[in-house]
């Protein structure tokens, strides 16, 4: 099958936002009597802190300076949970976030800056408050919508915590608050496809699809893709699949997945000495590895999919579903910097989880969903923020780092290197993950012919390389990397 993926994603730097906790705008006027928790309250307390979509608009200057060109927003539709994975109205942006008008403002403002906006689509399950499920609650077996869900017996027990009288309908992970749709019902399918089309036509640039593997039906996702791509052929479809996703990435369902294989490999190699061994997540092994095993993991990751897919994979280091990367890495800033530089030089779309760039660190959900400390910049790591701005600028400046081919060059001990090539432009990226200064020589006649080399990273007056005949000699400080790009076309 001829696989086509959206061209813009190959050049994007994503920024994931948990809307309730990113920014609160004074321009969003709520009805009298609305009370939010104080901004910065411990996320373990749950509740709402009042972040909204206009707050994101107000911070677009910050995001643009960071080098962000695409936003991925956790769910924004009306819901009775702060994470909004409990949707009760798919056609209404939550009023606490500013409603549909605020989304319109965000889309217009982002698109004016050539930024894209991807929304979280939660289509496997709804909530107890979803209108069709509520209809069943009120009417029982007499509801015409009975077949929209899977009910085992009566009466329904949507709030049951009694083990002798358990919940009696199909729900995600047996959570009563999350009744699962019966997607074999043609009316349910039409409803979901119409939602997908509606918001694409409204102007969003794609869907991140929550737990799509729970809808175990290829024909569903094939039709979903047809509907979305008919509305916008360049819309991005990214599934939340934490493991081998070949089934969904054959060109007829998703464009990409959240690349947790990337996350696992990067954290385990660059953070091998400081990785928190007490942190366990299903489908993430999170144990220190050397360069050889790291190289095998990267080769395996790339070998799973067509290169049209590899170039649009959402390469992340953490998310709302994991502890923050810096916490997992045992607060090792050098490891985070190496991981982030790896993101910006590898095939795929790098994705920054909001606040990582200023050094936010926290354990698993809900701790990882803390409020962005806009008013207390003493909490910011400004050096780290400057680092992120530099590496995103490098990513944007050199197309070879975005769509070039990928060839591994070296994997030994704590050293890892690869080449990217795009037409006559070439780049060598060399990582020293060791705690010692390392020297290494690459034989150019064997690996790559480089002329008029620029050391584009790090930005320093001290050149970390020299050429002797057909050899490239590198001298790298501990826990550092170098990116070399040829300045002129090779002949």
pLDDT score for 461: 62
- Catalytic site residue 423? no
Residues 145 and 289 in one domain: no
Residues 166 and 265 in one domain: no
pLDDT in single tens digits along all 491 residues of the chain: 789 999 999 999 999 999 999 999 999 999 999 999 999 999 999 899 999 999 999 999 999 999 999 999 999 999 999 999 999 999 999 999 999 999 999 999 999 999 999 999 999 999 999 999 999 999 999 999 999 999 999 989 999 777 777 889 999 999 999 999 999 999 999 999 999 999 999 999 999 999 999 999 999 999 999 999 999 999 999 999 999 999 999 999 999 999 999 999 999 999 999 999 889 888 888 899 999 999 999 999 999 999 999 999 999 999 999 999 999 999 999 999 999 999 999 999 999 999 999 999 999 999 999 999 999 999 999 999 999 999 999 999 999 999 999 999 999 999 999 999 999 899 999 999 999 999 999 876 444 455 667 889 897 767 788 888 778 889 899 999 999 998 654 32
Note whether residue 323 is domain-resident: yes
In 3D space, the residue among 300, 209, 206, 219 whose CA is nearest the CA of residue 257 turns out to be 209
Tally of structural domains, the chain: 3
How far from the centroid of its chain's Cα atoms is residue 400's Cα?
22
Residues 243 and 291 in one domain: yes
Query: Among residues 347, 376, 397, which one ends one of the domains?
Result: 397
Residues near 380 by beta carbon (within 8 Å), at least 6 away in sequence:
358, 359, 373
In 3D space, the residue among 241, 421, 205, 417 whose CA is nearest the CA of residue 316 turns out to be 241
Residues 211 and 347 in one domain: yes
- Catalytic site residue 240? yes
Query: Among residues 339, 366, 397, which one ends one of the domains?
Result: 397
Question: Long-range contacts of range 107-114, CB-CB < 8 Å, 24 or more positions apart?
Answer: 107/202, 107/203, 107/204, 108/203, 109/57, 109/60, 110/57, 110/60, 110/71, 111/203, 113/60, 113/64, 114/69
Residues 223 and 361 in one domain: yes
Helices vs. strands in the chain: H and E counts, helices first: 14, 18
Residues 62 and 81 in one domain: yes
Catalytic pick from 52, 58, 205, 240? 240
Domain enclosing residue 468, as ranges: 404-486
Residues 444 and 393 in one domain: no
Note whether residue 276 is domain-resident: yes
Residues 49 and 66 in one domain: yes
Catalytic pick from 58, 120, 210, 255? 210
Residues 257 and 353 in one domain: yes
C-alpha dist (Å) from residue 204 to 73, 136, 314, 327: 11, 32, 17, 32
Residues near 63 by beta carbon (within 8 Å), at least 6 away in sequence:
15, 71, 115
Note whether residue 491 is domain-resident: no
Residues 90 and 164 in one domain: no
Query: Among residues 365, 397, 429, which one ends one of the domains?
Result: 397
pLDDT score for 429: 96
CATH number at residue 437: 2.60.40.1180
Residues 197 and 269 in one domain: yes
In 3D space, the residue among 59, 63, 69 whose CA is nearest the CA of residue 115 turns out to be 69
Residues 209 and 63 in one domain: yes
């Amino acid at each position: 099958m001829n696989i086509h993926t959206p061209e813009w994603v190959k050049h994007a730097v994503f920024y994931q936002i948990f809307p309730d906790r990113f920014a609160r705008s004074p321009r969003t006027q709520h009805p009298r009597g609305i009370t939010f928790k104080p901004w910065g309250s411990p996320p373990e307390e749950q509740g709402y802190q009042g972040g909204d979509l206009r707050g994101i608009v107000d911070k677009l200057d910050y995001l643009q300076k960071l080098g962000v060109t695409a936003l991925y927003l956790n769910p924004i539709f009306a819901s009775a949970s702060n994470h909004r994975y409990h949707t009760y109205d798919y056609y209404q942006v939550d009023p606490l976030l500013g409603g549909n008008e605020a989304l319109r403002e965000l889309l217009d403002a982002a698109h004016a800056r050539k930024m894209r906006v991807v929304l979280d689509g939660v289509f496997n399950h709804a909530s107890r408050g979803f209108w069709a499920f509520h209809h069943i609650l009120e009417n029982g077996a007499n509801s015409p919508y009975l077949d929209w869900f899977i009910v085992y017996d009566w009466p329904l027990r949507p709030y049951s915590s009694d083990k002798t009288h358990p919940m009696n309908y199909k729900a995600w992970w047996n959570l009563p608050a999350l009744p699962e749709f019966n997607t074999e019902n043609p009316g349910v399918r039409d409803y979901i496809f119409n939602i997908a089309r509606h918001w694409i036509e409204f102007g969003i640039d794609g869907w991140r699809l929550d737990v799509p593997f729970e809808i175990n039906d290829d024909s569903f996702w094939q039709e979903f893709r047809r509907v979305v791509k008919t509305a916008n052929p360049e819309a991005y479809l990214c599934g939340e699949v934490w493991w081998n996703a070949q089934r969904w990435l054959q060109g007829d369902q998703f464009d990409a997945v959240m690349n947790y294989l990337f996350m696992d490999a990067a954290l385990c190699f660059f953070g091998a000495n400081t990785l928190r061994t007490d942190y366990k997540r299903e489908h993430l092994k999170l144990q220190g590895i050397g360069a050889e095993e790291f190289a095998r993991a990267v080769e395996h990751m790339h070998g799973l999919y067509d290169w049209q897919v590899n170039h649009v994979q959402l390469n992340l280091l953490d998310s709302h579903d994991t502890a923050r990367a810096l916490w997992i890495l045992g607060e090792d800033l050098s490891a985070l910097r190496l991981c982030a530089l790896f993101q910006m030089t590898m095939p795929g779309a790098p994705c920054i989880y909001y606040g990582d760039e200023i050094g936010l660190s926290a354990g698993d959900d809900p701790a990882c969903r803390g409020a962005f400390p806009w008013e207390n910049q003493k909490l910011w790591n400004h050096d780290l923020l400057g680092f992120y701005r530099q590496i995103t600028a490098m990513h944007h400046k050199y197309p070879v780092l975005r769509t070039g081919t990928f060839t591994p060059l070296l994997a030994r001990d704590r050293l890892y290197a690869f080449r990217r090539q795009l037409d006559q432009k070439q780049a060598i990226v060399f990582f020293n993950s060791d705690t010692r200064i390392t020297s290494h020589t690459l034989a150019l006649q064997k690996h790559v012919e480089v002329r008029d080399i620029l050391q584009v990273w790090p930005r320093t007056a001290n050149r970390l390389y020299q050429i002797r005949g057909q050899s490239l000699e590198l001298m790298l400080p501990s826990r550092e990397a170098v990116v070399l790009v040829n300045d002129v076309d090779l002949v």
